[in-house]
Amino acid sequence: MVESETQTEHTQILSTGVENYENLKDITTLVYLLQAIAFVGFTPVIGVIINYFKRSDVEGSIFESHFRWQIRTFWWGLFWYALSSVLIFTWIGALIGFPILGIITVWWIYRFVRGWLRLNKSLLMYVS
């Protein structure tokens, strides 16, 4: 871990308290898990609802960037899944819809794996 990122993590723990820090980390991990098991059904919807309800709790912490990442993953994924689904139901659109569906599935997996790995290292999702 880079020294500034380690320092950021220690600052987060001190400002939020160890117990609250771990609680927020658990909630963020839960949302990544809900996104990971999207094939079960509506779990990503439950995850994004948790993101919106707990968003104010994570303001100013490293988890804020993860929540933003998770919310964007949900909405962009929903958009592209909906578009590919509509295209699949048309004869010519199926030629485009199935590849889009495959690409968006790989993108979805990339997003939650990358986020989860960075969370476990206590790193921000967006580095300026």
Residue 95 lies in a domain: yes
Domain assignment of residue 127, yes or no? no
The number of distinct structural domains making up the chain is 1
10-14 contacts: CB < 8 A, separation 24 or more? 12/61, 12/62, 12/122
Other Cβ atoms within 10 Å of 88 Cβ, number: 15
Expressed as residue numbers, the domain containing 11 is 3-120
pLDDT digits (tens, 9 = 90+) for 73-106: 999 999 998 988 888 888 778 888 889 889 999 9
What per-residue confidence (pLDDT) applies to 1?
46
